[in-house]
């Protein structure tokens, strides 16, 4: 089983050495973790990614994760990681989504979250390797005078459902890494090839071309214009051969959650 560290979205961990061998870094100008800043202005699918900001009511700390506008009939859904919505058994509060976020400015405004969904297996359990295939969450955001989320941002990303055992080449991971070496308010990306990383459940994707740092949780893994997974976790940053784990969007648990969320948000005003 994989040895993993949960990505703390508010953390500031620093890798002491190059964690991805230079020959395995596929991102042009990629750093020691395989990441590089996304060129400005944000275009295409990158305009649909952003940050999800909330508050841990027990500690009062602000928590920041990645999120992505997801294509839906309700035009109101955002994809993220389950642990970005329910962490250490606590549901985060005061959540807002900022699509196209760049240096403190959200390209498409600020969208308050009104509903959240995580897989049933995620509720009431502590995070562990057996939950990695289910580390996917959805949020529904409130409509504005200008319309619903996709009315403002444009059509969200379609999902690419893959089953256990499927390998994907040419993924692009998007996120907002934080810490001493990263600003925390600028989008970074990493290109990687992913292979299967689990034997049970829907399976997970693992890329050894990218080593996601704190703040990368919930960001999308894009493949040919669709989103194939969500950044869930990584090996510890002290690991000399780092890797990133992505939760797939295939399988019945995600499909049921998506259909329920879309029905609920379609009925909301």
Q: What is the pLDDT of residues 82-122, one digit of tens each?
A: 999 986 667 788 999 999 999 889 999 999 999 999 998 88
Do 32 and 17 touch, CB atoms closer than 8 A? yes
CA 212 to chain centre: 11
- Cβ count near 71 (within 10 Å): 17
157-188 burial, b if ≥16 CB within 10 A, otherwise e?
Answer: bebbbbebebebeebbbbbbbbbeebeeeebb
Between CA 248 and CA 165 the distance in angstroms is 11
Check residue 3 and give its pLDDT.
Answer: 41
Q: What is the pLDDT of residues 145-173, one digit of tens each?
A: 999 999 999 999 999 998 888 899 999 99
Alpha-carbon Rg for the chain in angstroms: 17
Using alpha carbons only, give the angle 176, 49, 95 rounded to the nearest 5 degrees: 80
Between CA 142 and CA 161 the distance in angstroms is 27
Question: Does the pTM exceed 0.85?
Answer: yes
Point out the residues of the chain with pLDDT beneath 50.
1-13, 15-16
Domains of the chain and CATH, by start: 5-267 (2.40.10.10)
């Amino acid at each position: 089983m994989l040895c993993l560290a949960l990505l703390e979205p508010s953390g500031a961990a620093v890798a002491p050495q190059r964690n991805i061998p230079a020959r395995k870094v596929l991102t042009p100008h990629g750093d020691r973790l395989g990441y590089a800043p996304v060129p400005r202005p944000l275009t295409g699918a990158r305009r649909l990614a952003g940050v999800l900001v909330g508050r841990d009511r027990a500690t009062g700390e602000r928590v920041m994760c990645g999120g992505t506008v997801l294509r839906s009939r309700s035009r109101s859904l955002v994809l993220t990681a389950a642990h970005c919505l329910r962490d250490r058994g606590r549901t985060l509060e005061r959540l807002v989504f900022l699509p196209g976020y760049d240096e403190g400015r959200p390209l498409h405004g600020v969208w308050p979250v009104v509903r959240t969904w995580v897989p049933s297996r995620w509720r009431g359990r502590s995070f562990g390797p057996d939950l990695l295939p289910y580390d996917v969450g959805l949020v529904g955001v409130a409509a504005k005078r200008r319309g619903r989320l996709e009315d403002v941002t444009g059509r969200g990303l379609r999902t690419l459902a893959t089953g256990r055992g499927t390998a994907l080449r040419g993924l692009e991971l998007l996120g907002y890494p934080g810490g001493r070496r990263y600003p925390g308010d600028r989008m970074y990306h990493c290109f990687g090839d992913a292979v299967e990383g689990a034997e049970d459940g829907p399976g997970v994707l693992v890329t050894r071309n990218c080593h996601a740092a704190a703040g990368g949780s919930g960001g999308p893994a894009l493949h040919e214009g669709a989103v194939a997974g969500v950044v869930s976790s990584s090996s510890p940053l002290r690991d000399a051969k780092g890797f990133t784990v992505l939760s797939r969007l295939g399988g019945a648990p995600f499909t049921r959650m998506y259909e329920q969320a879309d029905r609920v948000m379609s009925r909301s005003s």
